[in-house]
């Protein structure tokens, strides 16, 4: 993914780094911004990772991250209390200030071919784990049912699925 990002974005002021956020030896107080798109939820040690990123960010620097909302979150319910309090506690404990959160509930679109979209979504994430070890006939039945469901959700933009995520911004004092 880093190689693809380097090819797409050639700005010399961007440094692409691969490493464990909790243990990577960043130069202290160096970075203007730390950006994560759907990665922080995979931190093995969130307080250590956020502290390490804090130490790497210059005073006035920013942390910008996007994380998925809870499985059951919808536009009707806003930020689930437990997700927000957990995230804010982790950031505050690591030293970040001016923590702001915003829910972004929108429709995400899969490609317009319902059968291809069903194959793609059963090959990743929680559905892949659910189907792991199941006979091929079971996988085929799930894909067929999902294809029918996706066909009902299809419109001119593709196959629309409700999605919610939380955008969190913080500043190093």
- Return the higher-pLDDT residue of 119 and 73: 119
- Tell how far CA 31 is from the center of its chain: 21
Per-residue pLDDT at 157 exceeds 50: yes
Q: What is the pLDDT of residues 33-64, one digit of tens each?
A: 999 888 887 888 988 999 999 999 999 999 99
115 phi and psi angles, rounded to 5 deg: -65, -45
Look at residues 67, 70, 82, 76 and name the one whose alpha carbon lies nearest to residue 166. Answer: 67
Segment holding 62, helix H or strand E: strand 57-68
- Return the higher-pLDDT residue of 3 and 71: 3
Look at residues 13, 16, 97 and name the one whose alpha carbon lies nearest to residue 60. Answer: 97
Q: What is the pTM of this model?
A: 0.51
Look at residues 160, 164, 173 and name the one whose alpha carbon lies nearest to residue 67. Answer: 164
């Amino acid at each position: 993914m880093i190689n693809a990002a380097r090819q797409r974005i050639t700005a010399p002021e961007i440094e692409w780094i691969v490493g464990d956020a909790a243990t990577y030896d960043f130069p202290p107080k160096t970075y203007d911004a730390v950006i994560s798109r759907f990665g922080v939820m995979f931190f093995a040690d969130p307080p250590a990772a956020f502290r390490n990123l804090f130490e790497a960010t210059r005073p006035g620097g920013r942390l910008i991250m996007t994380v998925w909302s809870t499985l059951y979150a919808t536009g009707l319910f806003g930020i689930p209390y437990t997700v927000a309090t957990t995230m804010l506690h982790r950031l505050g404990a690591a030293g970040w200030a001016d923590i702001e959160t915003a829910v972004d509930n929108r429709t995400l679109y899969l490609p317009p071919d319902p059968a291809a979209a069903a194959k793609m979504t059963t090959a990743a994430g929680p559905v892949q784990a659910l189907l792991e070890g199941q006979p091929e006939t079971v996988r085929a039945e799930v894909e067929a049912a999902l294809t029918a469901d996706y066909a009902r959700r299809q419109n001119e933009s593709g196959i629309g699925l409700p999605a919610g995520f939380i955008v969190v911004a913080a500043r190093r004092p």
